[in-house]
Amino acid sequence: MQDELDRNIPDSNDSSDELYERFTITIDKGQEPLRIDKFLANRIEGATRNKLQQAMNHGMVLVNGVPVKPNYKVKPQDHIVIYSDLSPDETDVVPEKMDLNIVYEDADLMVINKPAGMVVHPGSGNYSGTLLNGVSYYLQQQNPNLTEDILPRFGLVHRIDKNTSGLLVLAKTDKAMRVLAKQFFDHSVKRKYLALVWGDLEKDSGTIIAHVGRHLRFRKLFEAYPEGDHGKDAITHYNVIERFGYVTLVQCVLETGRTHQIRVHMKYIGHPLFSDDFYGGDKIVKGTIYTRYKQFVDNCFALCPRQALHAKTLGFVHPSTGEEMHFESELPKDMEGVIDKWRKYSTSRQ
């Protein structure tokens, strides 16, 4: 007999900025009572009972809409929802003292304005100096009983690129983590980005629909797959904020949250992000290459030596109060400076 299985976990060629996805199982009518950790370990490839038990203790496994513990025994027709942690392999998070721009904090969550150049979580090649290292230290000062092996790494439910600045929300409790993860999965979280892109967009607004997945040859890069043959579905809405001739300031609204989504989508429509060295924005894409213009662009690159992308707006429903939370962050000085430089250049040419 086969259980009804609806997998929503990315394949090995994909990735996501939303660190939790989910899949569901509806138990077959003939199922004998069995501990849920053992049942799921037998049916989910690569899952271990230990990791499943941790997920259950964090409230990430629901049966008929209610979180369960590992000793729960499945019954026929039970509907199981598992929120899967898609973060990289476990790396010890060593607390480090650092300055954090905490925009908001309560007992359930923290909203942090991340600077460009900071990696969100430890991983290969980045074992220190990450946002989570700083958050771990901060939380440990609040509660000295938090040891390194129980610091809440699970509180991270989404991420932004190292060289993208802007707002992130982190959960401080199991419940908050579970509720926020569900909102990200359901795409109900409101996220708006400001991006400076090459070229003069033809339309004032538009929607980009193309799957995003890893490049088939260069594994560090991601690619747009408009036919949907690779990667995961990705939708980006954009609106032109200001035009400067050779570059354009746009607002991007994410309907999905795939790794490098805005960067990949804007490159796909021929407008890579300004100064994006991964996707071709770190060279002159629009404009005649003559000495004075090239020098101007080089000065702009020096002013903003990273992709000109900022996570400006973040909105979600508070996991405990049900209140609509909304946060805005100002443009960092590097983006503000390069935009102003292009604005003056554009005005001088009129």
User: Do residues 261 and 18 make contact, with C-beta atoms less than 8 angstroms apart?
Assistant: no
Query: Would you say 69 and 56 are in contact if contact means Cβ atoms under 8 Å apart?
Result: yes
Q: 176, 194, 195: which is closest to 325 by C-alpha? A: 176
Give the Cα separation of 215 and 225 in Å (integer).
10
Hey, is 296 helix, strand or coil? helix
Catalytic residue positions, numbered: 161
Strand blocks (E) in 68-164: 73-74, 79-85, 102-105, 109-114
**CA-closest candidate to residue 72, choices 57, 83, 85:** 57
Q: Are 262 and 236 in contact (CB under 8 A)?
A: yes
* CA–CA distance, 23 with 85 (Å, rounded to integer): 11
The distance in angstroms from the start CA to the end CA of the chain is 72
Per the CB < 8 A criterion, the answer to whether 56 and 36 are in contact is yes
Contact 235, 250 (CB under 8 A): no
Beta-carbon contacts of 75 under 8 Å, excluding residues fewer than 6 positions away, are: 27, 31, 33
CB atoms within 10 A of CB 155: 22
Is the Cβ–Cβ distance between 298 and 56 less than 8 Å?
Answer: no
Task: Find out whether 334 and 303 touch, Cβ atoms under 8 Å.
Answer: yes
Measured distance CA(58)–CA(196) in Å, rounded: 40
